Structure 1
């Protein structure tokens, strides 16, 4: 990572969202990310969990636009996306938009419905090799009970979105 860690994080998310490599992202790209996660976890597209997750990704798209005061925009370049990502903390986007999104995503990821994530459930999310997923899992599982609780999960995502520290546990979420 470079010295501008938040920019690096924004670039990671941008690259994963711009799957067609157009050089910009749209609301449709955000919806596609939601649908990809639903497919990975074999969640029915018309389930209440699926609808909630897609709506959360739409809210995130609107937050990116709002951060830049461009609510009528239909696409964001990498530079615009990066600038908006960096404003998440000051605009309290994590609490307003990302907590509901990550709660909805957690509900999809938690395929056995036990209220916590197993290594397997977590590894599907991260899209890295199993060894990397296990290492990240171990560090995010702060209490060491062998599961990632909803609180540990939200804490890691908050660190990813807001921390400029290179050793932040949240950075483990999107390695690779």
Structure 2
């Protein structure tokens, strides 16, 4: 599979993950539902500040992407792919950071049970379970831990998600 085809395949998988009601379109409510499901999987109250950050970041991601293609209310898969390609994939690491950092930061804060600002292997395993991932947490952690310090920073996670979606990293990070 070419790198471009792999990128498109991973974006389609991301779209399917966000399409929480399975209607072939994603709306703000789909991303709100996905964020709520993740918060509940972590066992966090939706009223907790850590939960509120994720419950805010996911819908903002939808707002940003829909604005890029002039969509009103919902995105088709083609619109999602167009916006993600333009704003995330083609923009490289800067695009990933600009678009995805808020949601990744919120996930780190949710997973970071010891409050050190990073994600430990145990916290990462809980993260993967919360996103419904059937992923070997140890293998994925080693692939993402770029500096080898046994902790994952927001920067490492943004880089890893970007590298995964650009086809440069094979560690599955989608949770599907």
TM-score bucket of the superposed structures, by smaller chain: 0.7 to 0.9
1:41 and 2:45 correspond: no
Equivalent residues of 1:41, 1:111 under 8 A apart:
no
Equivalent residues of 1:109, 1:117 under 8 A apart:
yes
In the alignment, which residue of structure 1 is the partner of 2:103?
101
Distance 1:175 1:26, change over 3 A: closer
SS of aligned partner of 1:21 = coil
**Among 104, 115, 138, the residue aligned to 1:134:** 138
Moved more, 22-31 or 136-145: 136-145
Aligned length: 169
Moved more, 142-151 or 89-98: 89-98
In the alignment, which residue of structure 2 is the partner of 1:10?
11
Equivalent residues of 1:24, 1:75 under 8 A apart:
yes
In the alignment, which residue of structure 2 is the partner of 1:125?
127
Please report the TM-score for the alignment, with normalisation by the length of structure 1.
0.83
Please report the TM-score for the alignment, with normalisation by the length of structure 2.
0.83
Deviations 1:79-127 (A, max 9, x none): 2211111112357653433212211121011122222212232123333
5+ long unaligned stretches in structure 2: none
1:78 and 2:77 correspond: yes
Distance 1:12 1:133, change over 3 A: same
Equivalent residues of 2:15, 2:77 under 8 A apart:
yes
5+ long unaligned stretches in structure 1: none
- Quote the Cα distance in structure 2 between the aligned partners of 1:53 and 1:174: 16
Equivalent residues of 2:20, 2:33 under 8 A apart:
no
Distance 1:155 1:56, change over 3 A: same
